[in-house]
Amino acid sequence: MSAVKMQSAEIRFKVNGAERRVNVPPMKRLLDVLREDLGLTGAKEGCSEGECGSCSVLLDGVLVNSCLVPALQVNGCEVLTVEGLATNGALAHIQQTFLELGGTQCGICTPGMMLAAESLLRKNPQPELDEIREGLAGNLCRCTGYMRIINAVRHSSQAPATAAVPAPEDAVHR
């Protein structure tokens, strides 16, 4: 930052349904506002250049990389983070399927993946396999090979449950 201290401004926006007010430099990244000022550490910092998707949040229903959004741009908007998916401690359907089908390994991509899935399923409740792959293509994952994430999204959609990967028990030859 330059020698001149950046002035703070009051930003009001809705986060996961609750009205929030923060005093932050207007160009502070939404990711940092969420993590540092609001204590919502679900969104993760990965590449810091809008390529990996681990900081994904929904901004007025649109999937965005919160590392590229300045705080002033969210004034008056509504933000949904991964913390807002569960209701009263009960996991959302997409979280449940990630849990049961092994959609998470190290967990860094998981919050962004869940919001990408949420965004996809809001627009397209019964996505085809190719549409799921396309819908998750902005979110990088190093651990899972994507198969189990895709499977979790497929099971979370209203489409008839058909396994994209064989049940793990069937693959073990004892």
Interaction mask 71-110, other proteins, x per CB under 8 A = ------------------------------xx--x-----
The CA distance from 80 to 9, in Å, is 22
Binding status of residue 123 toward other proteins by CB under 8 A: no
Give least dist CB 32 to other proteins, A: 19
The CA distance from 173 to 50, in Å, is 43
- Would you put residue 88 in left (φ > 0), alpha (ψ -120 to 50) or beta? left
The Cβ of residue 146 has, within 10 Å, a number of other Cβ atoms equal to 18
Interaction mask 34-53, other proteins, x per CB under 8 A = ------------xx-x-xx-
The H or E element spanning position 35 is none
Q: How many residues bind other proteins (CB under 8 A)?
A: 35
SS3 category, 153: helix
Our CB check for other proteins shows the closer of 22 and 149 to be 149
Given the rule CB under 8 A, which residues bind other proteins? 46-47, 49, 51-52, 101-102, 105, 132-134, 136-150, 164-166, 168-169, 171-174
